[in-house]
Amino acid sequence: MASRQPLSKSLLHALAYLLLGGVAFAIVLPFVFLLSTSLKMPNAIYEMPMRWLPQPATLQNYTKAITQVDLLRGTWNTLLIAVPSTLAGLLTSAFAGYAFAKMTFPGRERIFAILLATMMLPGIVTLIPQFVMFAKIGWVDTFYPLIVPGGMGSAFAIFMMRQFFATIPDEIIEAATLDGCNPFQTFTQVVFPLAGPALATLAIFGFKGAWNDYFGPLIYLSSPENFTLQQMIAATQNAYGGEPAVLMAAALLALLPLLILFAFAQRYFVEGVASTGMKN
């Protein structure tokens, strides 16, 4: 019996590693295909059987993606949208999350429940009213419709910040109050500096959402000089008749900033996800 138990555990571990390896392979395979295709000559893309190692490899697809498709302008426009909306969204979500977690005011739980209920409302439902509103104030074909809503914070971000602030002991806030801090000073000087992991997690989610957004810019932006990175990538299908290698090269270049961001913030991301789920 004693010898069978370690054997069964080893078998379960082997099956777990095999399953995880299969999932990892399925996730990585499209990225390998993306890289392989981006390095191929046009006449080598449709070869059968497919070659994973391009022979010969070329960088001309990256040159086309950077120069002729104007991905540099698209990257700059996307940064002008993603960075302000992410930073402003972090600030507003932190304020709202702290209020729901640590401050007492009439109707707090009902308001929070209504806020969570908005997460079940599809964005397509509010698309037309938002467009009409932004058109009346002259914001169509500008970056404002893509920055301001994100800068107001989302229900998901407020929920995560509320969950994080709920894990902070009340004794810390009471000690700050006894030291003479008002609620704003308590938040900015005592509580907010502790929220690094949660803020890093939301920063990754917010920046990723703004960086990969295609539908929003497609609705609000019509001038080519205002196109975002995703619109520029979609334009390669028209500019080069749907040439796959250029499309893959542009997609890989667009993916690099997110990979770099996640590589640097991975530790905070895992810590933030764990901490925001500790307390209801």
**For the residues of 215-235, what is the DSSP string, one character each?**
HHHHHH--SGGG--HHHHHHH
Output the CA–CA distances (angstroms, integers) from residue 211 to 78, 103, 122, 148, 152, in the order listed.
6, 34, 20, 15, 17
Rounded to whole angstroms, how far apart are CA atoms 25 and 93?
36
Instruction: Output the pLDDT for position 83.
Output: 92
Domain interval for residue 40: 4-58
Q: Write down the pLDDT at residue 77.
A: 92
Cis peptide before 193 (omega within 30 of 0): no
In a domain, 176, yes or no: yes
* Cα 213 from Cα 155, distance rounded (Å): 18
Overall average pLDDT of the 259-277 stretch: 65
Q: Which residue has the higher pLDDT, 217 or 69?
A: 217
Spatial CA neighbour of 269 closest among 187, 208, 189: 208
Rounded Cα gap, residues 254 and 34, in angstroms: 12
pLDDT at 277 over 60: no
Q: Same domain, yes or no, for 94 and 127?
A: yes
Q: How many helices (H) and strands (E) does the chain have?
A: 13, 0
One domain for residues 29 and 87: no
Residue 145: predicted pLDDT: 92
The verdict on residue 120 lying in a domain is: yes
Query: What gap in Å lies between CA 142 and CA 42, rounded to an integer?
Result: 37
- Give pLDDT, residue 279: 45
Q: What percent of the chain has pLDDT over 90?
A: 15
102 shares a domain with 238: yes
Count the domains in the chain.
Answer: 2
pTM: 0.78
Above 60 in pLDDT, residue 2? Answer: no
The CA–CA distances, whole Å, from 268 to 15, 71, 96, 170, 203 equal 30, 30, 21, 24, 10
Does residue 196 fall inside a structural domain?
yes
**Do residues 256 and 239 make contact, with C-beta atoms less than 8 angstroms apart?**
no
| Number of CB atoms found within 10 A of residue 203's CB | 20
Mean pLDDT of 137-153: 90
Label residue 1 by pLDDT band (50, 70, 90): very low
Q: Which of 27, 43, 58 is the last residue of a domain?
A: 58
Kindly report, residue by residue over 20-51, the tens digit of the pLDDT. 888 988 988 888 888 888 888 877 777 777 77
Q: Which distant-in-sequence residues (6+ apart) come within 8 Å of 82 by Cβ?
A: 207, 210, 211
By residue count, the chain amounts to: 280
Asked if 51 and 92 sit in the same domain, the reply is no
50 to each of 33, 43, 54, 250, how far by Cα in Å?
10, 12, 9, 21
| Residues 117 and 156 grouped into a single domain | yes
pLDDT of residue 88: 93
Query: Which of 41, 58, 75 is where one domain is finished?
Result: 58
Is residue 218 in a domain? yes
Q: Which uninterrupted H or E stretch holds 54?
A: none
Quick: pLDDT tens for 228-257.
988 888 876 665 556 778 888 888 888 888
Please check whether residues 33 and 159 belong to one and the same domain: no
Residues 85, 31 share a domain: no
Answer whether residue 280 is part of any domain: no
Tell me how far apart the alpha carbons of residues 40 and 248 are, in angstroms, rounded to a whole number: 10
